[in-house]
Structure 1
Amino acid sequence: MRIARLLTGALVGAAATLGAAATLTAVAGPAFAAGDDQQKAPTEAGTSFRTAKEVAQGQRATADASTGDYLYWSFPADAGQRPTVKATVKLPDSAAGPSGATWRVDVYDGLRRRQACMYGTQSRAAAPDATSVELSCTLRTVRAWAEPWANDPLPGTYYVRLTAVDLSPADQGLPVSVAVEAASKEIGGPAAVDGSLAAPLVPGATGATGSQALATGEPDNGWSSGWWSDRWVWTAAGGVLAALAGIGGYALTRGTGRPSRVPPGM
């Protein structure tokens, strides 16, 4: 009975630890809920890295612009996230003709290094009968730490640049409407590394005038910088299961009868 109670207690402890994994991951993972901030989504775009309009993940930023403009937005991404940027361009009638215009979306990290897209349609030429162009770019998973020589995406500010290339002179300056949205998938433990940045890559102005930082956006729950990973939960669960296996092995291998008598004269 005692062994049964021990086994039952160990099983309950393991179940509680494993059951907490999903809850703790959801709590510890940075949230980018739009909520009421959706009403505050930018309705214009910046024209450079320095003037990029900040947008939270989950918000849909819009802007009216002209073909040939370079449009910039910025959003925060934390360790363990795999961001996807989507852009929609509504074309004017004349731009939907055989002009050969190609629209392109690029994503840069806080060091202004262009990040490669794992998949998605990063650039697309407007079809002759098209009224809009859809673009997307899914980045690699943001890492909490990387070697100095690596080009891995790191926690911090990310910049989105949208523009049209291969425009004919007749199509320059035509009005377009654009919409951009960034959202992330939480990858968690499979992307965890043993290390973290001292601070996220959020560029800021350091002039003597104390001017405002270039990008101030951050996750609702702050930057995790890789301190949390659901690997912690699975490690604890593994310890509980190892203890359970030890108790079970002991119960199976220990003797249940009395020790044999020692022969006389020994």
Structure 2
Amino acid sequence: MRCVRVVSAALLALGVAAGPAAADTSPSPSGDLGRDSSAPTRAGTSFRTATEIEQEQRATADGAAGDYLYWSFPADAGQRPTVRATVKLPDTHAAETWQVDVYDGLRRRQSCQWGAQTRTAAAGTSSVELACVLRTVRAWSEPWANDPLPGTYYVRLTAVRLPTSDLGLPVGTEVRVASRDMGGAAAVDGSLSEPLVPGVAVASREDGEGAGDASDPPVLSAIEPEDGWSSGWWSDRWVWTAVGGALAALAGVGGYALTRGSGRPRQGPPGSPGA
């Protein structure tokens, strides 16, 4: 009976501990896209002028065929970002091939796990949709590795094969980034001291009248996750470690309760042999 109680208590503890961890990994609802009326409406033309966007934010921009369009967004440890881009083409155009590329804070091109990163729009097609699902962002990696790390990521959208007749034609673009939290399965033993976020020597002109005092620290990129940079110090692996320790303790108590007294000599009634 005691063994049954021990197992029941262990299963109850496991269910209570695992419930919040599973809830935290659910993606943000798509309805949040409409909550921000200040979504960017233009893109940058280089890494240095990339337009900053937040995850789950819909950014739009008008451009011309042949332009390089850049956006940047933050990605933290344990996230697996998905970049989606839509290019709206003019009514009359030849066959065009568009491509979306993603770079990390060190401007290293990151490979896509899956998704239509490059697509060709046939003549007369009204739009073309692209997607790139990155690998899970790691909290730490070897210096020689090309693993995605916490920090700023850049999205570059451009036409890679474009007929001369289509150069300069107006196009409309739409970019959205969303991430899935991969949880403790993606946790590693280690973390960066600082995320890979680019720094600038002077403040933005929009934030002040001048560059400020020379003793002021460099101004970093303004974008970061809503809850700040975690740098991989917390994951639901801590929860499972605690649950495992609790189960081990319960198993020890249950084993002791089942086996205690088995080594004692059995005493018979008074007057019997061995009493």
Task: Please say whether Structure 1 and Structure 2 have the same fold, judged by a TM-score greater than 0.5.
Answer: yes
Paired AA for residue 85 in structure 1: V
Match of 1:90 in 2: 88
SS at match of 1:74: strand
Moved over 6 A (4+): 1-7, 29-33
Aligned match of 2:166:
171
CA offsets, 1:121-147, max 9 Å, x none? 111111124110010000000000000
Q: Percent identity?
A: 64
Aligned-partner residue type, residue 187 of structure 1: M
Gaps of 5+ in 2: 204-210, 268-272
Higher relative contact order (CA 8 A, sep 6+): 1
Equivalences, count: 260
**Aligned AA (2:68):** Y
Mapping of residues 139-150 of structure 1, within 5 Å: 139-150=134-145
Alpha-carbon spacing, 1:160–1:32, altered in 2? closer, same or farther (3 Å): farther
Match of 1:113 among 101, 104, 108: 108
Aligned residue identity for 1:92? P
* 1:11-38, Cα deviation, whole Å (9 max, x unpaired): 5444433334335x459x9999956752
Q: Deviations over 1:134-184 (max 9, x none)?
A: 100000000000000011000011000001122222111000001000001
What is the TM-score when the length of structure 2 is the normalising length? 0.83
C-alpha change, 1:15 and 1:256, in structure 2 (3 Å) is farther
- Equivalent residue for 1:38? 36
Q: Which moved more, 1:187-196 or 1:9-18?
A: 9-18
TM-superposed deviation, 1:249: 1.6
Separation in structure 1 between the aligned mates of residue 247 and residue 142 of structure 2, nearest angstrom? 35
Match of 1:59 in 2: 57
SS at match of 1:250: helix
Secondary structure at 1:245 match in 2: helix
Q: Is the 8 A contact 2:99 2:157 kept in 1?
A: yes
Could you say if the C-alpha distance between residues 89 and 10 of structure 1 is closer, same or farther in structure 2, counting changes exceeding 3 Å? closer
Work out which of the residue numbers 153, 160, 175 in structure 1 matches 2:155. Answer: 160
What are the ranges of 5 or more consecutive residues in structure 1 without an aligned counterpart? none
Give, as a single letter, the amino acid of the residue that structure 2 aligns with 1:217: I
Secondary structure of 2:232's aligned partner: coil
In the TM superposition, what are the counterparts of 1:1-266 in structure 2 within 5 Å? 12-23=12-23, 25=24, 34=32, 38-95=36-93, 97=94, 100-206=95-201, 209=211, 213=219, 215-255=221-261, 259-260=265-266
Query: Counterparts of 2:141 and 2:31 in 1: how far apart (Å)?
Result: 27
Q: Is residue 50–residue 214 contact of structure 1 (8 Å, CA) maintained in 2? A: no
Q: How many angstroms apart in 1 are the aligned matches of 2:253 and 2:259?
A: 10
- Greater shift after overlay, 86-95 or 29-38? 29-38
